[in-house]
Amino acid sequence: MMIKKHFGNFGLAEILLAISVLILVIVVAIPVLLILWTALFVDGKFNTADILNILSQPATYEALKNSFIIAAGVTFFSTVVGVFFAWLVSRTDLPFKETMKVLFLIPFMLPTLIGALAWKMLLSPRAGYINKFINDLFGLDGSFFNIYSLSGIIAVETMYLFPFVFIQVTGALERMDPTLEESARISGAGLLTITRKITLPLMLPSIAAGALLVALYSLAHFGVPAILGTEAGIYNIPTKIYEQIYQSGGSFTAIRTGTVLSTILIISAALILYIQSLVLKAGRFQVIAGKSMRPMLLKLRGLKLPLLMFSILYLSITVIMPTVTIFLVGALKTYGINFTWENMSFTNLKYILFEWKMTKDAIWNSIYLSLSAAFVTMIVGVLISYTIVKMKVRGKFILEFLGVLPFSLPGTVIAIGVILMWSGKFGVNLYNTAWIIFVAYIARYMAFSLKSNSAALEQVSDSLEEAARACGATHWQSLKDIVIPLVKPGMVAAFFLIFLPAMRELTTSVLLYGPKTRTIGVAIYALNEDGETVYAATLASVALIIIIIGQLIIKRITQSKIQGVQ
Amino acid sequence: MAYVMLEKVGKTYGRHEVISDFSITIKDGECLTFLGPSGCGKTVILRLIAGFEHPTAGEIYIGDRLVSSVEKNVHVPPEARKIGVVFQDYAVWPHKTVYENVIYPMQMQRIAAGDAKGRTLAAIGQVGLGELQDRLPFQLSGGQQQRVALARALISKPDIMLLDEPLCNLDANLREEMRFEITALQKQTGVTILYVTHDQEVALAISDRIAVMDKTGRIRQVGPPDDIYEKPADPFIFKFMGVSNFIPLEYRDGQIFIGESDSPLGCPVPEGSLERIKKRELIAGCRSYDIELTHKESQTRGTIRRVIYLGATVDYLVAVGKKVFRVQQDIREAGQGGIPFQDGDQVGLEFLDLKWFENQAIDEEVE
């Protein structure tokens, strides 16, 4: 007789819960608590004087102001651009709509760091190609547009962040129940009135969701302000934290200033996410039907071609021109000379790929750090998501809370958190090793993995697993034979959702790298700082090629998924 | 094969008590149905027997084996209980072919490959899917998926089969067909079946015994289908098993009247019940086809309020005083007097078969 004693409360469920909580506490919770502790307490005493002192310094105050101005500007323009193009591809008779829909996602794949680098080459006040070209053309001596400015930073971030809004809004527009608009039309409303009074209000939750994602991202973004701002003395919170820590050689005072600024980021991010959850809750009336539909399309008539040309032009300027610039400059023998065949070669490429140790190391570091972080985060993500979605255990809410937390943590905050946690204070010193970046990546991308895996797991009905148990499979066997095969697409998606952004990561690794552990992002940034513009562009080209290959693989995988099991 | 015994089983979620002090024995080789409105806890009992949930009180035996006991801290996991389960949503694994789905229990039991293959093919044949063994579930219809689930549950020769509303997602024709097939499979294999449903027709058709449950998770009556239908223990069961009329009765001027009307009941009452009718302790009930409508003069008269043509039958609402009855007439019978009755017609009523209940709680919801 096979009677298994159910001893105490220690089943598989409890073990999984314990492991999941442990991982999230170590990787996420403790670092955040350390930041708050360090920011608010000095020698174990609550310390407001110090915080006020830090915040009242003109430099930090200035950085805070810039961060919020940039975030507000980028959010505003991204929303306008994103909603406009979303409406254009889903609610008008624009030609080649399906193709355009895909093309508008490309700016998303272009790393903001590389975009900023390209725009620096094009529009820096003196040496920018466009500025020079216009000066030559009209015999001017000033500069047509100075990219080293707040408006330059806002413009470049908008170019690459608007797809957040675009994706949300096109998705919602496509799923919106057409009868809502049809009934308004039957009641005698014109298309303009319908758009203003029915469609737009119904889309508001999706628009807001996209806009808040942009705000969250922009508020704590390092790359663009670092490349375009520092030269003109414009700092935002992440670049200020970096500058302080970098200049002081990692002194505790600088890190403490970092924690205070991080606390502000955490609070702002929490606020943004809170607003988002309110908006999403308010928008949960049934406007979105699951069925496919044929919405009313606005006839563009004479504007058809001009609007198509405008869209193509927009993409050419924001995507093709910068990409081409990067590849061309990357092949130049020296920066500033003309783009002629004689001036171009593969020498740079050969040099950074095979000869120069610094860049070789950076590429290698980025590849193995991204691969291993993506792999570990994917596995741990499945484990935690499974516990959250499928397990009936007490104390699950802790996990749910900790699982959402990483969504709201900007890269800079995570970096400061892992510095506090892993620089020897608790017996483990990972500072200046690749491990500290590895740990930071796991914390930073855990949210992606949880989101992707939870979505996949929610599709797997509980009865599928129970059917396996009834067939004689143990819990582990049912996981291995039924659950894992069914969530594999979600796991693969999670892997690439982590691998690709990790490949181009800068915000976190720039605070954590040591002499031997530069990543591609750090190396591009450092080369640019040192005036090695050409090598920065060559390395950026390599990064772009890796990203393009990665995207192609994702496309293959998602397509084969459609052909296989639904 | 084995009997299943539940002894004083209780299950609470947080503060919500779904079932308590629940005892029943499912006999070896019988098909017992738990019939009850949604939310009555019938599925919870099935899940407790399967081992997907732990009871919070009591003991469960499958055969002579204690599988769950709160007191003795015993919980045999589902995989060790020798059960077969068929779920409401089929739970056929979408990434495995029909063959792979059905052979899975054999693989779990480490049965030799050759033997397992033979049994799998036989099981697939038995449910009539012989040609489709290499299909993936999304290439099958709902009924075919349900057969895969049946074959998979039966193949390992379980002690008991647990079926959780397996027919409710199928269309009417398919439901009827599968109903016969489940009965046939049970006759062939002699397996003990616990069937859970809210559909009284299915329950009547397939069960050896039915246990009717109410919203509070208690068993109201257990018995063979004809007993449940013909001799319902209380108004709730009568109401749950089909279209029903309840007739309140008033005694005045030496006659029994239909409540709130001037019409006498006009049919004999059981011996010795008159005293109780006088005290209003009894209430009568009848099915819609137990009332005959006539053009003839009759003591009990009513007015047709609504006529619905249903093909095989005609469905009327007939008002007698303030009381409204639902009456169904066979189409042939309705046609005999010329045409069926029309809205507003005056008719005579005759009660053919009355059931007598204690006058209590007839308003209890059945859904």
What tokens appear for B84 in the block?
Answer: 């077969």
Angstrom distance (rounded) from CA A161 to CA A512 = 25
Phi, psi (rounded to 5 degrees) for B6: -110, 130
Check B156 against A472: CB less than 8 A apart: yes
Task: Please report the pLDDT score of residue B337 as a whole number.
Answer: 59
The closest CB to that of A486, out of B94, B138, B162, belongs to B94
Angstrom distance (rounded) from CA A451 to CA A213 = 15
Residue whose pair of structure tokens reads 């499928």 in the numeric block:
A390
From the list B6, B10, B23, the residue with the least C-alpha distance to B219 is B23
ipTM: 0.83
Point out which residues pair with B90 in neighbouring strands: B87
Task: Please report the pLDDT score of residue A366 as a whole number.
Answer: 92
- Decide: residue B200, CB within 10 A, 0-12 exposed, 13-18 middle, 19+ buried: buried
| Confidence band of B193 (pLDDT split at 50, 70, 90) | very high
Angstrom distance (rounded) from CA A110 to CA A514 = 26
Task: Please report the pLDDT score of residue A368 as a whole number.
Answer: 92
Task: Please report the pLDDT score of residue B222 as a whole number.
Answer: 93
CB B97 within 8 A of CB B135: yes
| Confidence band of A291 (pLDDT split at 50, 70, 90) | very low
Domains detected in chain A = 22-38+346-566 (1.10.3720.10)
Q: How far is B145 from chain A (nearest CA, A)?
A: 13
Q: What angle do CA A335, A339, A343 make, to 5 degrees?
A: 70
The closest CB to that of B80, out of A2, A482, A485, belongs to A2
The closest CB to that of B79, out of A7, A469, A486, belongs to A469
Q: Considering only residues A153 and B292, tell me which one the structure prediction assigns the higher pLDDT.
A: A153
Residue A364, SS3? helix
Q: How far is B13 from chain A (nearest CA, A)?
A: 11
Angstrom distance (rounded) from CA B254 to CA A84 = 85
Check B66 against A463: CB less than 8 A apart: no
pLDDT, one tens digit per residue, over A436-473 is: 999 999 988 888 888 888 888 888 888 999 999 999 99
Q: How far is A382 from chain B (nearest CA, A)?
A: 19
B2 touches chain A (CB under 8 A): no
Check A3 against B83: CB less than 8 A apart: no
pLDDT, one tens digit per residue, over B85-128 is: 999 888 999 999 999 999 999 999 888 888 999 999 998 988 88
At CB < 8 A and 24+ separation, what contacts does A550-554 make?
A: A550/A496, A550/A499, A550/A500, A550/A503, A551/A109, A551/A500, A553/A496, A554/A493, A554/A496, A554/A500
A contacts of B156 (beta carbons < 8 Å):
471-472
Q: How far is A492 from chain B (nearest CA, A)?
A: 16
Average pLDDT of span B18-45: 91
Average pLDDT of span A6-27: 72
B152 touches chain A (CB under 8 A): yes
A contacts of B52 (beta carbons < 8 Å):
466, 469
DSSP notation for A269-297: HHHHHHHHHHHHHHT-SS-B-SS------
pLDDT, one tens digit per residue, over B48-72 is: 999 999 999 999 999 889 999 999 9
What tokens appear for A42 in the block?
Answer: 């000095």
Task: Please report the pLDDT score of residue B331 as a whole number.
Answer: 79
* Strand duo B160-164 + B192-197: pairing: parallel
Check B76 against A3: CB less than 8 A apart: yes
CB A467 within 8 A of CB B93: yes
Mean pLDDT of chain A: 83
Task: Please report the pLDDT score of residue B69 as a whole number.
Answer: 92
Phi, psi (rounded to 5 degrees) for A55: -70, -25
Residue A540, pLDDT above cutoff 50: yes
Residue B197, SS3? strand
Q: How far is A396 from chain B (nearest CA, A)?
A: 15
Residue A81, SS3? helix
Check A471 against B104: CB less than 8 A apart: yes
B contacts of A468 (beta carbons < 8 Å):
93, 104
| CA A101 to each of CA A91, A169, A184, A552: distance values in angstroms, whole numbers, following the listed order | 12, 12, 27, 17
Helix axes A58-91, A150-161, angle to 10 degrees: 40
Check B65 against A1: CB less than 8 A apart: yes
Check B105 against A471: CB less than 8 A apart: yes
Question: Which residues have C-beta within 8 Å of that of residue B81, sequence separation ≥ 6?
Answer: B50, B51, B62, B67, B159
pLDDT, one tens digit per residue, over B269-293 is: 887 778 888 888 888 888 888 888 8
B293 touches chain A (CB under 8 A): no
Phi, psi (rounded to 5 degrees) for A144: -60, -50
CB A219 within 8 A of CB A67: yes
From the list B354, B347, B353, B352, the residue with the least C-alpha distance to B293 is B347
pLDDT, one tens digit per residue, over A170-180 is: 888 877 766 77
Residue A75, pLDDT above cutoff 90: yes
Check B108 against A473: CB less than 8 A apart: yes
pLDDT, one tens digit per residue, over A86-144 is: 988 888 888 888 888 888 888 888 888 899 999 998 888 777 788 878 888 877 776 67
Residue A1, pLDDT above cutoff 60: no
Angstrom distance (rounded) from CA B244 to CA A566 = 46
Phi, psi (rounded to 5 degrees) for A460: -90, 110
Cα of first residue to Cα of last residue in chain B, in angstroms, is 34
Residue B7, pLDDT above cutoff 60: yes
CA atoms within 13 A on the CB side of B67: 29
Residue B32, pLDDT above cutoff 90: yes
CB B183 within 8 A of CB B205: yes
Check B79 against A474: CB less than 8 A apart: yes
Check B149 against A475: CB less than 8 A apart: no
Domains detected in chain B = 4-240 (3.40.50.300), 245-358 (2.40.50.140)
Residue A338, pLDDT above cutoff 80: no
B194 touches chain A (CB under 8 A): no
Point out which residues pair with B308 in neighbouring strands: B315
Interface A:B, Cβ pairs < 8 A: 87
Average pLDDT of span A146-170: 90
Q: Letter for the amino acid at A59? A: A
B93 touches chain A (CB under 8 A): yes
Check A469 against B51: CB less than 8 A apart: yes
Q: Best of B69, B95, B111, B163 to disrupt the A interface by mutation (most A CBs within 10 Å)?
A: B95
Check A463 against B94: CB less than 8 A apart: no
pLDDT, one tens digit per residue, over A181-221 is: 777 777 777 777 777 777 777 788 888 888 988 998 898 88
Angstrom distance (rounded) from CA B163 to CA A121 = 70
Lowest mean pLDDT among A405-409, A514-518, B139-143, B320-324: A405-409
Phi, psi (rounded to 5 degrees) for B31: -110, 110
Residue B34, pLDDT above cutoff 80: yes
What percent of chain A lies above the pLDDT cut of 70? 91
Check B79 against A467: CB less than 8 A apart: no
